[in-house]
Amino acid sequence: MTEPRLYLVRHGESEANVAGVLQGQSHGALTAAGRDAAGRLGRALASLSVAERPTAILTSDLRRAVETAEIIADALGATPQLLPAAREWNVGVLDGLPAAALTDAIERSGLPAAEFAPSGGESMNQLQARAAQALADLAHEAADGAHVAGRERTLLVSHGDFIRMAIGAAASMPIDAANSLKLRNTSLTEFTLSNGTWRVERIGDASHLDE
pTM (2 decimals)?
A: 0.95
Q: What is the layout of strands, in order, in the sheet containing 81-82? A: 81-82, 56-59, 153-158, 5-10, 188-194, 197-205
Amino acid letter for position 28: G
Contact of 31 with 180, CB cutoff 8 Å? no
Average pLDDT, the chain: 94
pLDDT given for residue 17 in this prediction: 96
CA–CA distance, 31 with 180 (Å, rounded to integer): 25
CA–CA distance, 60 with 29 (Å, rounded to integer): 14
Tell which residue, 180, 166, 157, has the closest CA to residue 132: 166
pLDDT given for residue 148 in this prediction: 42
Question: In order along the chain (211 residues), what is the average pLDDT of each group of 10 residues?
Answer: 90 96 94 98 96 95 98 97 97 96 96 96 98 95 65 95 98 96 98 94 96 73
CA–CA distance, 148 with 198 (Å, rounded to integer): 20
For 118, the 3-state DSSP assignment is: coil
Active-site amino acid positions? 11, 88
Please name every residue paired with 5 in a beta bridge, in sequence order, or none if there are none.
153, 192
